[in-house]
Amino acid sequence: MSWRKFFVMSGLLLISMWVLTALALVMYTTDSRQTINNYVIEIPEGTSELILLGQNPLNIDAAWDTFVGDSITLANSDVVSHTFGPWTVAAGATDQHILTNSLTSSYACSLHPSGAISLNVQPRNFDFGLTVKPALMLGIPTALVFTMGQKLREGLEQKDEEEHEPPAEEEPGLASV
């Protein structure tokens, strides 16, 4: 295989890997292009006592999956301040938090009986730049394996041709000594 053919095949493999990763990214992020959500958590008076008794009066999920741009509003009518993820809302206060960065983390939460929640904020729109690294990580090794396989096949074919080549005939009129 010539170097030119190697580079053409490598380029085609890289492009095909990029297309596959771009398609996966588009399929994975379809839900993220939905409308922006505002999650409102209303904390009535007496919530802290019910949580101390092991109840979940607000039916707060332990895992939250959201997208950048969504917001969480905490309206605290309880007599104590409450913590929800990285935010604390004072007693009698209302705070709104717009999710601006992608993150996945576990946090303390005074609104859940377990005392903790996990927050997973995913990017809202896909970025095709995210496809470059997987394409390179998959495309280059695939191209190298393909090239080694091609070289091995060519070597075996050449060896097979040499083994099956008929012996050279002598020219007429020349005597062997």
Q: Which domains does the chain have, with CATH numbers?
A: 3-27+128-151 (no CATH), 34-122 (2.60.40)
- For the cut 70, the answer to whether the pLDDT of residue 130 exceeds it is no
CA distances to 78, 83, 94, 123 from 90, rounded to whole Å, are 9, 9, 8, 29
12 or 33: which carries more pLDDT confidence? 12
pLDDT in tens, 2-11: 667 777 877 7
pLDDT of residue 19: 81
- Average pLDDT over the chain, rounded to an integer: 81
26 or 50: which carries more pLDDT confidence? 50
pLDDT of residue 80: 95
- For the cut 70, the answer to whether the pLDDT of residue 86 exceeds it is yes
Confidence of residue 123 (pLDDT cuts 50, 70, 90): confident
- For the cut 80, the answer to whether the pLDDT of residue 22 exceeds it is no
Confidence of residue 76 (pLDDT cuts 50, 70, 90): very high
Confidence of residue 46 (pLDDT cuts 50, 70, 90): very high
Number of H helices, E strands in the chain: 3, 8
d(CA 63, CA 70): 16
User: Among candidates 101, 102, 103, 72, which has minimal Cα distance to 88?
Assistant: 72
- Give the chain's length: 177
Handedness of CA 118, 30, 28, 134 (dihedral sign): negative
